[in-house]
């Protein structure tokens, strides 16, 4: 448990109120017992003190950093660009379609998604491949719920995610350099068992509010044991397939960004170390704290079994 300076400690009554809707690291058991509430209720119950809450040693990243320091190349490659250029991003109407190797393909709009699947809050570590990290209180539901409803066929082995393609709204899709040279739409994928893991969330909110556009509104993935680039934003389509697709970063630089992208302090990026990370929003004006990076980003107990027998140096 990290020690917090006095003014970082949430007043107890607020903390206890929050506990009722919160699920932290460690998950699983506790998670399924928590009350499931709607996003509206969540926002209503959500106390002001989010900023400073801590649970299981996780100190939340200040909200303004979570929503102001972003990677969303569709809206430019600078960390401040998404907040600026995604401001008027239109996320209503929105349809999410699940298709491919499923018996029951379907599409749901945002309202249907957030009422069909009970929402809960989860505090996750978030580790970018660029060696910085945050702790984010997501609002979402387990991806497994959506996949189960679609009934995967016996051929389904991978789950592929597609971000919206709309160059009129996304300047990075219109201008090669502004968008960082990515071949859009942004595509990511997980093995089916990774996608069905209870830690894998589809999120629709953070800090008790709907997702801001720069964080991937209206619906984005959160896979806490993998580098941030797997957590694809503004998803319109999920396809189950029998073969492994080529994903965005893997296509761009296969020797740098592997398909698995599991957080691993022992396997460095070819151009920098992955052994430690900058904690975004920590310290004062002049200092940013660093901490050692944990195997599977601290979720080793929960996910290591998925990779038994796999050489993580080869399958990075
Ligand atoms: N569609 C899309 N999804 C994306 C990205 C992107 O550029 N486009 N960037 C990824 C990267 S590299 C990271 S670190 C996270 C950043 O999420 P955040 O801005 O909400 O912290 O989003 C990921 N999802
Ligand atoms: Mo990232």
Give residue 25's pLDDT: 27
Residues with CB under 6 A from ligand 1: 70-74, 128, 163, 186, 215-216, 228-229, 231-234
Domain membership flag for residue 315? no
Domain membership flag for residue 76? yes
pTM of the model: 0.86
Domain count, the chain: 1
Separation of CA 128 and ligand 2 centre (Å): 4
Domain membership flag for residue 18? no
Domain membership flag for residue 48? no
Expressed as residue numbers, the domain containing 244 is 54-307
Domain membership flag for residue 1? no
In this model, does residue 38 exceed pLDDT 90? no
Nearest alpha carbon, ligand 1 atom 20:
215
Domain membership flag for residue 246? yes
Site to probe by mutation for ligand 1, drawn from 132, 231, 250 as the one with most ligand atoms within 8 Å of Cβ, is 231
Domain membership flag for residue 313? no
In this model, does residue 51 exceed pLDDT 50? no
Give residue 286's pLDDT: 80
Domain membership flag for residue 172? yes
In this model, does residue 67 exceed pLDDT 80? yes
Give residue 285's pLDDT: 76
| CATH number (domain holding residue 273) | 3.90.420.10
What would the DSSP string read from start to end of the chain?
A: -----GGGSPPHHHHHHHHHH---TT-THHHHHSPPB-HHHHHHH--GGGGG-EETTEEPPPHHHHTTS---GGG-SSTTHHHHHTTT---SS-EEEEEESBSS-EEEEHHHHHHHS-BEEEEEEEE-TTSEEEEEEEEEEEHHHHHHHH-B-TT--EEEEEE---TTT-HHHH-TTTTTT--SSPEEEEEHHHHHSTT-EEEEEETTEEPPGGGTTT-EEE-TTB-GGGS--SEEEEEEESSPPPPHHHHH-TTTS-SS-B--TTS-BTTB--SEEEETT-S-SS---EEEPPGGGGTHHHHGGGGTT--TTT--
| Mean pLDDT of the region 286-315 | 96
């Amino acid at each position: 448990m990290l020690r917090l300076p006095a003014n970082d400690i949430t007043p107890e009554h607020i903390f206890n109120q929050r506990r009722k809707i919160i699920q932290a690291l460690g998950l699983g058991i506790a998670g399924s017992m928590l009350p499931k509430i709607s996003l509206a209720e969540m926002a209503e119950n959500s106390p002001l003190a989010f900023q400073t809450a801590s649970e299981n040693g996780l100190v939340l990243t200040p909200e303004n950093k979570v929503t102001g320091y972003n990677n969303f190349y569709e809206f430019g490659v600078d960390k401040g660009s998404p907040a600026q250029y995604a401001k008027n991003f239109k996320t209503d109407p929105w349809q999410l379609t699940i298709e491919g190797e499923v018996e029951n393909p379907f599409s749901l709009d945002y309202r249907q998604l957030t009422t069909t699947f009970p929402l809960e809050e989860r505090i996750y570590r978030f580790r970018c491949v660029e060696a910085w990290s945050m702790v984010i209180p997501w609002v979402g539901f387990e991806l497994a719920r959506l996949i189960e409803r679609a009934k995967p066929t016996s051929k389904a082995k991978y789950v592929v995610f597609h971000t919206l393609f709309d160059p009129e709204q996304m300047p990075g899709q219109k201008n090669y350099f502004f968008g960082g040279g990515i071949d859009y739409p942004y595509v990511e994928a997980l093995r089916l068992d990774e996608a069905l893991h209870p830690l894998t969330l589809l999120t629709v909110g953070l800090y008790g509010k709907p997702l801001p556009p720069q964080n991937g509104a209206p619906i984005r993935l959160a896979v806490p044991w993998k580098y941030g680039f797997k957590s694809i934003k503004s998803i319109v389509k999920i396809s189950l397939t029998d073969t492994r697709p080529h994903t965005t970063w893997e296509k761009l630089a296969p020797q740098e960004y592997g398909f698995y992208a599991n957080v691993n302090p022992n396997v460095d990026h070819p151009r920098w170390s992955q052994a430690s990370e900058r904690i975004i929003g920590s310290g004062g004006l002049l200092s940013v704290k660093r901490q050692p990076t944990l195997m599977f980003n601290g979720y080793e107990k929960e996910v290591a079994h998925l990779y038994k027998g796999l050489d993580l140096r080869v399958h990075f």
